[in-house]
Structure 1
Amino acid sequence: MESMEIKSTLGNNALNNWMATTPGIEDLPLYKLALPGTHNAGCDWQASYALIPGAHWVACQHKSFHQQLNNGARALDIRLVLTSKGDGIDKLRIQHNGFLSSRTLGDLVTDINRFLSENPDEFIVLDFHELKGGDQPFDFAWFNKLMMHFLRDRIIPAKNRYSSLRQLKDISRTQRVLMHADWHHDLDFEWFNDQIEHAWIGTQTPSASDLQKYITKVMESPPSSYRPWSLSATSYSALGGPVDIHTHLDKWFDPANSDWLLKCNIVNVDFIEESQLVSFCRTANLIKARRL
């Protein structure tokens, strides 16, 4: 009943600025919010891939970083590899299980800057899930320098990671990106936060039924609500690659059907435009805000 009442109060259905136009969530910090995330964000159908294995084995999203953000994603799962090919920042390529996407770190920072220029009061969690060497070791110091150069004015200092959205807006008019990565001595943890805890089923080809059972178990004792964590709600077929399971997601995560989103921080999905996850997160966040 509570979720149905709240849904009726959501007058703005635009996805590009849903955080700024969802009343009442300003007093929640990012780690307390339910955030729609894109799994393997840089592997999309608009990018290009080697002929083998082909896009259908690799692509987990339909569209670019910018379009994912415009469609409501607020946490991006980023997996980078350093290659010798390309120039400058474009040597840092997106990869999925070792298969390269044409997307680069340059595409990521360009799309983030563009999106935040258009939507200055939205917030983004950058989850650098993997930073790997390819045909050369990963250069953490260079990566750190690039992030400071291209996004410095956008990055939320690590010391402010527990601040509410309202407090973050008061602190800065531009700092809207929270970065997470595994610890390395060449990363500046004044700006980077430690790696996000991931709840993943642990098998490469889970069915929707397997996934439902796993998530049900996670929700019985979810990770700490005092630090960020992400739930991987994705399915993969050995015959066709990432599977669109939006009908299942819409049933599982609808606040009218379950309290799952009230227990979640980041929910990573494939093909985010297909499901109603963003709308459900808005509703869940209003419920969370009312319970403060």
Structure 2
Amino acid sequence: MGSQLSKQIERRRALKMEKRALLDLLETSGCNFPGCEYQTYDPKNWMGNLDPAKLIIKQIIWPGTHDSATNRIGIPLISRPFAQCQSMSIYEQLVNGTRVLDIRVQQDRRVCHGILLTYSVDVVIRDIRRFLSETKSEIIILEIRTEYGHKDPPGFDEYLVEELGDYLIPHDEAVFNKTVAEVLPRRITCVWKPRESEDPRPGDPLWSGGYLRDNWINTDLPSTKFESNLKYLDEQPPVSSRKYFYRVENTVTPIPDNPVVCVWPVTGRIHAYARLFIAQCFYRGIADRLQILSTDFIEVDFVDACVGNFSHQVS
């Protein structure tokens, strides 16, 4: 009991220091970067409004969501706070500017986060199709993976191809050098990451997991996550020479042996520092590596930061 109490006291001290470190960095460096004042008047159509003929796929700063389909996961007020990472539906996220979705499934095609379950993936597909039917030039990166500890849904690749059909952008590395206008009317790069089934192959309608990479840092300490994100991003090639998408997640994660294990209060430790992160990418000379930035509980200001960072290049 005494050692556990001592451990928790030390962690509280570490957390206090890490919160202070981010505040100090914000106060000394600020969060200005090219395009930081940008505000989209129409987040539902931000790609179309920036001119699809100028938007090169590999150069876009893609705003994404982490554990995207968790708005109704678990039981309200009981288990939901331990796994809910988004409060908006998939459709609402897309309307508000999200363009990268992170979907986790289990064997029966229900969306899950660990052991907690929510609706069928059919709901996700329906929301995506609704959004695409209401827009003309918006491209989505849809990552679907079998959640850790679960089995692949049988025949899931065929299901995705059947449901998404002509919206799918088939696997072709040449896509990275194309503009949005050049891939239209196809609208979805779907990355399927099974655990046991065969990976998609070159030329397939779906893309294999190696085309969407990240370095997940499992911590609830905000400065540790912030600096680790910068470190791993610095190790990536510039987008100009990269043939895969690289994602940075502006999130921290509840750790089971800590008193606070609900997502919202923990992720709130880093949530407000997305603009600081982009500014630090410029300050440290690695802005040419930034491509996907994801968050829990996405807001339009987060989308503005990502889009603004890119919009100044095509204005």
Q: Distance in 2 between matches of 1:208 and 1:223?
A: 25
Amino acid at match of 1:252: F
- Residue 95 of structure 1 pairs with residue 112 of structure 2: yes
Larger radius of gyration: 2
After TM superposition, give the deviation of residue 210 of structure 1 in Å: 1.3
TM-superposition CA deviations, 1:125-172 (whole Å, max 9, x none): 0112335674xx4244x2122212211021111126322212112xxx
Q: Distance in 2 between matches of 1:150 and 1:111?
A: 12
Q: Which residue of 180, 187, 206 corresponds with 2:191?
A: 180
- Residue 241 of structure 1 pairs with residue 262 of structure 2: yes
Q: Distance in 2 between matches of 1:123 and 1:63?
A: 19
Give the gaps of 5 or more residues in structure 1: 84-91
Counterpart contact for 1:255–1:280, Cα < 8 Å: no
After TM superposition, give the deviation of residue 279 of structure 1 in Å: 0.8
- Residue 164 of structure 1 pairs with residue 179 of structure 2: yes
After TM superposition, give the deviation of residue 185 of structure 1 in Å: 2.8
Q: Which residue of 149, 156, 178 corresponds with 1:143?
A: 156
Instruction: Name the structure 2 match of 1:86.
Output: none
Per the normalisation by structure 2, the TM-score is 0.74
Q: Distance in 2 between matches of 1:26 and 1:164?
A: 6
Q: Distance in 1 between matches of 2:228 and 2:281?
A: 21
Amino acid at match of 2:187: R
Aligned residues: 265
Q: 1:38 to 1:223 in 2, by over 3 A?
A: farther
Instruction: Name the structure 2 match of 1:14.
Output: 42
TM-superposition CA deviations, 1:197-250 (whole Å, max 9, x none): 11221x2x3221111221231243235521211112211234132222332223
The structure with more strand, counted as a fraction of residues: 1
Amino acid at match of 1:43: T
The structure with more helix, counted as a fraction of residues: 2
Mean CA deviation greater in 106-115 or 221-230: 221-230
Counterpart contact for 2:168–2:190, Cα < 8 Å: yes
Instruction: Name the structure 2 match of 1:127.
Output: 143
1:67-78 to structure 2, matched below 5 A, reads 67-78=92-103
Instruction: Name the structure 1 match of 2:14.
Output: none
Q: 1:60 to 1:279 in 2, by over 3 A?
A: same
Counterpart contact for 1:43–1:59, Cα < 8 Å: yes
Instruction: Name the structure 1 match of 2:234.
Output: 220
Amino acid at match of 2:124: L
Counterpart contact for 1:82–1:132, Cα < 8 Å: no
Q: Distance in 1 between matches of 2:115 and 2:56?
A: 34
Amino acid at match of 2:41: N
Q: Distance in 2 between matches of 1:21 and 1:51?
A: 38
Classify the secondary structure of the residue corresponding to 1:272.
coil
